[in-house]
Every structure is written in structure tokens, then in C-alpha cells.
Amino acid sequence: MAKKKLFQPSEKMNDLLRSCASVDQNISGPASLEVAKALELPLRQGILNGDITGGIFEAIPLTSNSTPEFPIDFLAPGTEKEFVAFSLPNHGYIPQRNVEGDYVMVPTYAIANAIDTNRKYVRDARWDVVGRMMEVLEAGFVKKINDDVWHTIVSAGADRNIVVLDSDAAAGQFTKRLVSLMKVVMRRNGGGNSTSNNRGSLTDLFVSPEAMEDIRNWNVDQIDETTRRQIFVSEGDDALSRIFGVNLHTLDELGEGQEYQLFYANELSASLPSGDVELVVGLDLSKSDCFVMPIREQLQIYDDPTLARLLRVGWWGTMELGLGILDGRRCILGSM
């Protein structure tokens, strides 16, 4: 495996970074601004690509004068069977059915982060230090967005007041039957009939590392030898990538006593079925018509001139976004 090559800045880049440490604001100001703008695009890409949301939410850039409104299907959950055709008698007319669409406004909010370091590292053109600073700055934005996304998803799932469980399994045990049951419950509570448009179906399942460990220990009475061999030679942390056509994803923040499960219990005041100890999150990602992320302002990076007197150099960034789930039927919670 080839080692990753170290970044080799040019002398021009070194001079630019050294200029950021100048005590003359006429020199350090433009240099710091130029460095900030150079860092803005890779940071912006890293924030969108380095998340744990699995590409669930669709980023929708907004123009300066647009409103984050999203139309809601007038075919509301539970009303699918009301929209049917009629048999016409010899004398009569086609019944009228007036419908009105609705919309939801997803509010946007600003998030910000900042980082600074000792002036000497910038003066000495320590790009390794500056690069690490940008990684930490990026990680702060990624963490904030990840948490907001998953808090929204877990809240939407809890709001349905449906938690699927395998009553035959031991507490904390992940089973194939749980996946199968969640597929059935997602379908039964998706509205409509077998051929309805936009019918809900379970496509992705998010589980804890402990649940993935259960898969590694499935015996021959649970899976065939070919599948056991596949699990044994699998690379990475995921034992299997799919079960019954459902994509499996591992989240460290799920599991007994972990962050998103504590949010479910403490912030939402929700509880798991008696005896179960872990939360499982299922989503329908077959269509991109539900999970929206309006972005009012893309990430902007600025230099911080107020740090000069402290002999420090730093940058800060801000962006404005919102999160919305337009149809709660796309989320389902399970327990184990």
C-alpha cells in the first residue's frame, strides 16, 4: 500500500502564509483573506462529503430572495383509499373532487465555527499545522450537521409512535427477523395498496457496531455456509452490506448508552419496548422526495483580524441551512 505523499507547498505559498503573520495589517489583512478564500472550497466539499448522513438529505441551494417552501402531496397519509374511480350509470356525470395542495416552510439557521493558532506557526510557514487546523474546523461543521440531521430523523421516527421489535430475540440481539419485520411494518404503514405510487419500502437500515458484531456471530442454523464465508472475508467494519435487499450502515452513535439513543430517551422522552436496549433506524431512500436540506448560504471562510494583539492568527466560518422531512412515513424505528 503506497504511503500518502506529504503536501509540498511552493515558495509563493509559503510567502503568502508568512504574510498572514505580519504585524502590518496592510500586509496581513489581504494575505489572510486570500488564504481564507483558498481554503473555502475544499472545506465546503469536505463538509458535504465527510458526513455520516449517507447522502440522505438533498442539499437545495437557495437564492437570496427565495423562500424555503416545499409542496406537500395532497394525498395525505391515510387518505389514499378515498381517491378512487367511479362506475357511471347511463344517466349521470363524473363526480367532482376538489383538492388543494399545501406546503411546509423549512426554517434555516446559521452555524459557525472558528479556530486559531500561535502566530509563530504561520510566520514559519507551517502548512502542516494550518492543514490540521482546517481539518479540525471542518470536523466541527461536520459534527454539527451530522447531529442535526440525525436528531431530525430520530424525532420523525419517534413521532410515528411505531417501534418494531423481534419478540423472539434476546435483548440486544440483532436478527434477520427484525429486518424482515421492519420491511413489513414499513409497507403496512405506508398507505395505499400494492400498486400505489410512492409506496413506502425499507431500503436502508442504520445499526450500532454491536448489531454488526451479532451478524459476524450468526451460526449455520441462521445462515448458509456461503454467507458465513462472505462475512468472514468481508473488508472494513461491516460484516454484510445487504440483507433482504436492505442496505446496512453502521453508526457509532447508535447503541446502548450512545449519543443518538440518549437523545431518543432523554430529549424526546421516548422509550424502547420492555427488555430491549438498542435503537435501530430504518429509512426509505427509494425516492428523493422527502429529506430536504435548503442551504441559504454556503460555507464562507473569513480571517480574524482581532487576534493580532494576542500574537495569534485564525480563521472562522459560517453557513446557513435548514433540515426537513416532508413525509414521516419514510422513517421507521426498530429495537433490539
Write out pLDDT tens, residues 77-124.
Answer: 555 555 455 455 555 555 555 545 567 788 888 999 998 989 888 888
Q: Which domain holds residue 260?
A: 159-291+326-335
What is the average pLDDT value for the chain, to the nearest integer? 80
Q: Please check whether residues 246 and 276 belong to one and the same domain.
A: yes
Give a yes or no: residue 248 inside a domain.
yes
Q: Lowest-pLDDT range, 51-55, 109-113, 120-124, 127-131? A: 51-55
Q: Please check whether residues 114 and 170 belong to one and the same domain.
A: no
CB 278 within 8 Å of CB 255: yes
What pLDDT does 86 receive? 47
Q: How many C-beta neighbours within 10 Å does residue 104 have? A: 13
Give a yes or no: residue 178 inside a domain.
yes
Give a yes or no: residue 300 inside a domain.
yes
Q: Please check whether residues 255 and 138 belong to one and the same domain.
A: no
Q: Please check whether residues 203 and 247 belong to one and the same domain.
A: yes
pLDDT at residue 217 tops 50: yes
Percent of the chain with pLDDT over 90: 21
Q: What is the C-alpha separation between 256 and 111, in angstroms, rounded?
A: 29
Residue 164, SS3 per DSSP: strand
Rounded to an integer, the average pLDDT of 284-299 is 85
Q: Please check whether residues 201 and 169 belong to one and the same domain.
A: yes
Q: Please check whether residues 132 and 19 belong to one and the same domain.
A: yes
Give a yes or no: residue 78 inside a domain.
no
What pLDDT does 171 receive? 87
Rounded to an integer, the average pLDDT of 137-157 is 90
Q: Lowest-pLDDT range, 68-77, 167-176, 255-264? A: 68-77
Q: Please check whether residues 128 and 246 belong to one and the same domain.
A: no
Residue 185, SS3 per DSSP: helix
What pLDDT does 150 receive? 93
CB 145 within 8 Å of CB 317: no
Give a yes or no: residue 263 inside a domain.
yes
pLDDT at residue 46 tops 80: no
Q: What is the C-alpha separation between 258 and 209, in angstroms, rounded?
A: 11
Sequence letter at residue 93: Y
Rounded to an integer, the average pLDDT of 41-45 is 78
Q: Please check whether residues 286 and 297 belong to one and the same domain.
A: no
Name the pTM for this structure.
Answer: 0.82
What pLDDT does 88 receive? 53
Q: Please check whether residues 31 and 133 belong to one and the same domain.
A: yes
Query: Residues near 41 by Cβ (< 8 Å), separated by ≥ 6?
Result: none
| 231 φ, ψ (degrees, to nearest 5) | -65, -40
Give a yes or no: residue 83 inside a domain.
no
Q: Please check whether residues 298 and 264 belong to one and the same domain.
A: no
Give a yes or no: residue 95 inside a domain.
no
DSSP one-letter code for 245 = T
Q: What is the C-alpha separation between 331 and 185, in angstroms, rounded?
A: 11
Give a yes or no: residue 192 inside a domain.
yes
> Based on the structure, what is the number of domains in the chain?
2
Query: Residues near 172 by Cβ (< 8 Å), separated by ≥ 6?
Result: 210, 256, 276, 277, 278, 336
pLDDT at residue 247 tops 80: yes
Q: Please check whether residues 124 and 226 belong to one and the same domain.
A: no
What pLDDT does 207 receive? 93
Rounded to an integer, the average pLDDT of 148-157 is 92
Q: What is the C-alpha separation between 14 and 235, in angstroms, rounded?
A: 40
141: cell is 461543521
What pLDDT does 91 receive? 54
Q: What is the C-alpha separation between 56 and 45, in angstroms, rounded?
A: 16
Q: Please check whether residues 215 and 282 belong to one and the same domain.
A: yes
Q: Which has more pLDDT, 212 or 190?
A: 212
14: cell is 509559503
What pLDDT does 74 receive? 46
Rounded to an integer, the average pLDDT of 204-215 is 90
pLDDT band at 61 (very low <50, low <70, confident <90, very high): confident
| 45 φ, ψ (degrees, to nearest 5) | -65, -40
